[in-house]
Copies of this chain bind each other. A is one copy, B any other.
Amino acid sequence: MPSLRLVESEPGQSRYGALAAAMRSRIIAGEWPPGSAIPAEQALAAEHGVALGTMRRALDLLAEQGLVERSHGRGTFVRQGLSGATMLRFFRFGAAGEQAPQSRILAREALAAPAEVARVLAIGPGEQALRLKRLRTVGGQPALLEEIWLPLPLFAPLTGGDPAGWGDLLYPFYAERCGVHVQRAVDTIGFGRLGAVQARALRLAAGHPCARVQRQAFDLAGRCVEWRTTLGDANAFHYTVAIT
């Protein structure tokens, strides 16, 4: 017997909007894990006692928001986390052509989060966090230097083991090892100059101009799960924006 699951929409809220919100909650609650299919439109429409078209609009909304992915003939799926290599979108490292980038963990340390990190990660000041330093190379040449902060109870599985075997993409790795799916990110681009230590790691001169990309990454529930600062040669930076 199909228990009818009615959604009440506040005045001023459309029914498909309320349905989308309800589905969103169920997804965040983990009723359908990332990568799995949610029930067919027909089934969901019947379950909520609405017309097919109304449920379709709700699902289309979730698709626009990047929460689910629709695939003609196959079904509607909860989106997996971001694939990964998105950091190199901001830089063009010549010559090397399309060589696969590599990455190496330079340092890993569990620390009490400094005030700014705690604020950005939305954890209590002084709570434990994991700090990584990472060097990305393209065609064997140092290209990007990263400092990454991760909230600690959540990323505990990364405090042990040899980082040499972590592979080149972190986000799929977060999912596999910690069950954390990065679903959305916000990058802020700025400009600066390299400090002496940073310059050495990138094989550039101290004081060399650099582009700085600071990223907050969020999971399905909207929690900030990563705070990353990436530095690279300012001359290699390029980015294109469409304006409408």
Contact = CB atoms under 8 A, between A and B. Distances in A.
Interface stretch (A15-23, A135-143, A162-170, A188-196): A188-196
Contacts of A240: 186-189
A226 to B, nearest CB: 12
Contact of A186 (B66, B86, B186, B242): B242
Q: Quick one: copies of this chain in the complex?
A: 2
A143 to B, nearest CB: 15
Contacts of A186: 240-243
A165 B81 CA distance: 53
Contacts of A189: 189, 237-241
Contact of A243 (B82, B190, B234, B244): B82
Size band of the interface chain A makes with B: 20 to 34
A56 interface: no
A104 interface: no
Contacts of A243: 82, 86, 184-187
A209 B184 contact: no
A215 B242 CA distance: 10
A25 interface: no
A211 interface: yes
A188 B241 CA distance: 6
Contacts of A82: 243-244
A9 interface: no
Nearest to A240: B188
